[in-house]
Amino acid sequence: MSRVGFQKSVRMFHKFSEETMRRRGGDQAGRESIAALAAIEAVLKAERALTGELLEPLAAFTNLLQSSQLPPDFGNYSLGDALAAVEEAQAELRQNDAQHWEFTPELDESSAGKLVDFAPPAREPDAGAHAAQLRSFVLGAAAPGPSQAALVVGALAEPALPLSELCARFERVTLNDLDLPRLEALVRRAVPESQRERIRLERYDATGSYVAFAAGVTQAVEAASTQAEAEQALLAWLQTYDVGAGSAGLGTAEAPPDLAVSAMVLTELGRGYAPCIAAALAARGWSASGAESGPLADALTLLRSFVVQHHLRALSRRAKSAALISAVSRVDVRTLPNGKTVADGEPHDLLSVERLVERLPTNTDIKDEQSWEWRQDRAGGAVITLVEALRF
């Protein structure tokens, strides 16, 4: 993907939007959109950094490109392409700066014990269609015949994974996540004792950021005299995130696995960022609302978007084959007195895109693509999640 090509696309749409407003007039939303395009253009010129409030207009623009509503001259760039172009520009912008962050995925027991809020919540395995389709897709991604190694990244995120079947197909199956005791319990529950010698467990942070994040939050909040000062320090620090996508990994082994599986992991990456900040602010007797809305929340959303993108880059570059399954959008439904269900509001995009493939570069060689709805009933209605799966 060419940064120059995407930069040209943004420039063309920026000019087109300005000319349209001059001819037809426009409202405040239109003016804000044009201002955002100008800012994104400056980002791609390496004149400024991408900040949290620009992620939504950037995603909206790439969604428009993917919808084929614009002439072909504008290109067909995905959000994955856009973020790659942004990171290239930001590397140029920061080329003379000291490195602030490192990708540090391996954790000792003491560090892991401080990251409880970052681990995926425990849940019972789904026994319905979601579990069946997920298991089928993962096993379909495992090539027939003997294979050496499979790696399940963030193995605690999806309890319905077909671990026993993977052990039957691979000589070695590595499971990693933050919580080693929970991984051990998962193996005892899901893998027969006769197959457990093939299992390897490792404590691993797929974002490579959690220890540094928790330490940075503590330092910024404890050094502040007021909540406003703390939030400003946190915002400035988050904007220094400078890990390159090429630094991200999947596990501790140097050799690439024959198959890497990332199942329901993407929306869990960075889940502890906001709770970590909220806890630090609360410990000083301050409100945690700043982590839930406003510039600080936008900065956290952008950071999560980058670590998701780095995970996707690692899947495509550090494994011979990858099976990626993720929640993409979610909608609440309620049950009416007549028994029918209706949507309670609009669907909520979980990854800033309408389709999972839009988080990948457009040149990714997709071997298989599936989708299904996952219904989780609750009192008075249900949550319906759109799940998509890709093999590449």
Residues 132 and 274 in one domain: yes
Establish if 221 belongs to a structural domain. Answer: no
Residues 158 and 22 in one domain: no
Q: How confident is the model at residue 124 (pLDDT cuts 50, 70, 90)?
A: confident
- Look at the chain and report how many structural domains it folds into: 2
The predicted pLDDT at position 13 comes to: 97
Last residue of a domain, one of 93, 124, 158: 93
pLDDT per position as a tens digit, 282-332: 999 999 888 888 999 999 999 999 999 999 999 999 999 999 999 999 999
pLDDT per position as a tens digit, 43-87: 999 999 999 999 999 999 999 999 989 999 999 999 999 999 999
Average pLDDT over residues 274-278: 96
Mean pLDDT in the chain? 95
- The Cα 83–Cα 352 span in angstroms is 12
Identify the bridge partners of residue 391 per DSSP, sorted by sequence position: 323, 368
> What is the amino acid identity at position 281?
L
Residues 6+ apart with CB under 8 A from 131: 125, 160
- CATH code (residue 128): 3.40.50.150
Identify the bridge partners of residue 329 per DSSP, sorted by sequence position: 349, 386
- The Cα 201–Cα 174 span in angstroms is 6
**Whether residue 253 has pLDDT greater than 70:** yes
Establish if 336 belongs to a structural domain. Answer: yes
Residues 60 and 198 in one domain: no
What CA–CA distances, in Å, run from 233 to 9, 178, 386?
Answer: 35, 28, 37
Establish if 313 belongs to a structural domain. Answer: yes
Q: How confident is the model at residue 274 (pLDDT cuts 50, 70, 90)?
A: very high
Residue with more model confidence, 149 or 338: 149
- The Cα 309–Cα 356 span in angstroms is 12
> What is the amino acid identity at position 336?
L
Q: Where are the alpha helices (DSSP H) in the chain?
A: 3-24, 28-44, 55-66, 79-93, 109-113, 129-141, 163-169, 180-190, 210-223, 227-238, 273-283, 295-317
What CA–CA distances, in Å, run from 76 to 18, 69, 71, 168, 297?
Answer: 21, 10, 10, 41, 30
The predicted pLDDT at position 5 comes to: 96
Establish if 226 belongs to a structural domain. Answer: no
Residues 181 and 326 in one domain: yes
Residues 201 and 320 in one domain: yes
Residues 128 and 82 in one domain: no
- The Cα 313–Cα 89 span in angstroms is 17
% of the chain with per-residue pLDDT over 90: 88
Residues 6+ apart with CB under 8 A from 274: 291, 292, 297, 300
Residues 178 and 36 in one domain: no
Residues 126 and 250 in one domain: yes
Residues 190 and 138 in one domain: yes
> What is the amino acid identity at position 140?
G
Residues 262 and 124 in one domain: yes
> What is the amino acid identity at position 162?
P
The predicted pLDDT at position 339 comes to: 80
**Whether residue 145 has pLDDT greater than 80:** no
Q: How many CA atoms lie within 13 A of 97 on its CB side?
A: 12
Residues 6+ apart with CB under 8 A from 377: none
Residues 339 and 200 in one domain: yes
What CA–CA distances, in Å, run from 53 to 6, 57, 229, 308, 357?
Answer: 20, 8, 20, 18, 23
Identify the bridge partners of residue 341 per DSSP, sorted by sequence position: 335
Establish if 227 belongs to a structural domain. Answer: no
Helix/strand/coil for 346:
coil
Cα-Cα end-to-end distance for the chain = 17
Q: Are 334 and 344 in contact (CB under 8 A)?
A: yes
Q: Are 124 and 148 in contact (CB under 8 A)?
A: no
pTM over 0.85: yes
Residues 6+ apart with CB under 8 A from 151: 173, 174, 176, 250, 251, 253, 257, 259, 260, 261, 319
Establish if 347 belongs to a structural domain. Answer: yes
Last residue of a domain, one of 93, 128, 157: 93
Average pLDDT over residues 210-232: 97
Establish if 13 belongs to a structural domain. Answer: yes
* Cα 3 to chain centroid, rounded: 22
Dihedral, CA atoms, 62, 242, 306, 279, nearest 10 degrees?
-130
What are the tokens at 182?
């929970």
Burial of 52 (0-12, 13-18, 19+ CB in 10 A): buried
Establish if 110 belongs to a structural domain. Answer: no
Q: At residue 47, what are phi and psi to the nearest 5 degrees?
A: -95, -20
Domain range for 241 is: 116-209+237-391
Q: Which secondary structure element, helix H or strand E, spans residue 147, and what is its range?
A: strand 147-153
**Whether residue 1 has pLDDT greater than 70:** no
Average pLDDT over residues 149-178: 97
Q: How confident is the model at residue 25 (pLDDT cuts 50, 70, 90)?
A: confident
Residues 320 and 373 in one domain: yes
- The Cα 335–Cα 340 span in angstroms is 6
The predicted pLDDT at position 338 comes to: 87
